[in-house]
Chains A and B, each alone.
Chain A
Amino acid sequence: MSLTLNLNSGQVAQRKTFITVAEWTEGTSTQLREILGTRTEDSSMELNADIETMTDVRGITYTDVNKTEPQQTFDPYLIIGGSNLGAYLTEAVLKNDIQAYTNCFTIYQIAAFSGNSTDGYYAVKHANCSIIPTAIGGDAKVNMPIELHLSNDITVGTVNKLSDDFTFTAASQGL
């Protein structure tokens, strides 16, 4: 499955069309989802590539990318009424419950500038991700910056709508 841009020639994709959604389970069965980035002005996924370069005897330089460690910081991440993830992570931080946020999130990255509501929007699903709060406090408002660490357990597919109750459909192999 390839990503095609649903944009007019010269049109720039708006930031709000690149969406990151966290999915996690509370208790034994309650599965929750929440978009990341509420009240965040700027956030980008950084690949953190492990790069090795070497120059052969002819003077030609080669670059090897051994792996990437994608991560994304959301700062500020404000504690906002109605946020299930905010409540979940705050409790984990205050209880110093590391297990509550380590490798237990599924992250969907949705490119809403590719696809549409009829055929679905291009999305990738990362299983076993971590959302690590790095601090909590702030000045006038409670801020708990978070770092999202993406796994390489990736499934490509589509989501049928832009809301928390979307359905993710994995792409058929070979397409």
Chain B
Amino acid sequence: MSVTDKNQAMINYFLSCTPIYQSTLYFNFANTQDSAKQFITLSNDININTPYIDGAVRKRYSMTITSFTSISNNPIIKVAGYDNENISDLAEIQALIDWIAEQNEAEHFPDFGTGIVVEEIRTTTSNPRLDSIDATSTPAIARYSFTVQVDYIDLTKVIWNN
């Protein structure tokens, strides 16, 4: 039974998201440049695994996606119709979270390979978090992130063949 690398499967999955595909992508390491995105692996707690009586195990995979975006020091213009760059940039990252929710609703999941049934993909928060602002760079770079969780059933240890 072939084993699919789940990190690569997640990256392949997110390449079908146009804004991510059009970004410069990094895995764990990243150059903090405008519009870059970084996939960061997380350790997955095996204590939350749920074993079933047929030998299947429910598991969870987690990954954080960080998005770097230039940030403006312009104040909000108090006239309707004028957008603030910072608000617009945040909305673009929010759209990624919304995209994941739509994929889950459509049951379009990452392909974790043979013997794995993905049941759900979701973000742990409904909106991105602002981790930091690097004001020493030019332009200043804001770092937003959100965490993605994938719940899947690992059937590789099941002894009954359907």
Q: Report the nearest B residue to A39, measured CB to CB.
A: B52
Q: How far is the CB of B118 from chain A (nearest CB, A)?
A: 13
Among B52, B54, B153, B160, max chain A CB count under 10 A is at B160
| Interface residue? A123 (CB, 8 A) | no
| Interface residue? A38 (CB, 8 A) | yes
| Interface residue? A15 (CB, 8 A) | yes
| Interface residue? A112 (CB, 8 A) | yes
Of the candidate stretches A40-48, A61-69, A142-150, the one touching chain B is A40-48
Q: How far is the CB of A72 from chain B (nearest CB, A)?
A: 11
Q: Categorize the interface residue count of chain B.
A: 10 to 19
Bound: A38/B78 CA distance, A: 58
Query: Given the interface contacts A16-B157, A41-B50, does A164 sit within 8 Å of B55 by beta carbon?
Result: no
B54 touches A16 (CB 8 A): yes
| Interface residue? B125 (CB, 8 A) | no
B158 touches A16 (CB 8 A): yes
Tally of contact residues, A, Cβ under 8 A: 21
| Interface residue? A14 (CB, 8 A) | yes
A41 touches B159 (CB 8 A): no
Query: Given the interface contacts A16-B157, A41-B50, does A35 sit within 8 Å of B162 by beta carbon?
Result: yes
A163 touches B55 (CB 8 A): no
| Interface residue? A19 (CB, 8 A) | yes
Bound: A82/B155 CA distance, A: 15
B159 touches A42 (CB 8 A): no
Give residues 53-80 of B contacting A (CB, 8 Å): 53-56
* CB 8 Å contact bits of A7-40 with B (1 = contact, 0 = none): 0000000111111000000000000001101111
Contacts of A162 in B (CB 8 A): 159-161
Query: What would 30 A/B residue contacts be, using CB atoms closer than 8 Å?
Result: A15-B51, A15-B53, A16-B55, A16-B158, A16-B159, A16-B160, A18-B53, A19-B160, A34-B162, A35-B160, A35-B162, A37-B52, A37-B53, A37-B54, A38-B56, A39-B52, A39-B56, A39-B153, A40-B52, A40-B53, A40-B54, A41-B50, A41-B51, A41-B52, A162-B159, A162-B160, A162-B161, A163-B161, A163-B162, A164-B162
- The 7 A-B pairs with the shortest beta carbon distances in the complex, nearest first, are A16-B55, A163-B161, A37-B53, A37-B54, A35-B160, A15-B53, A162-B160
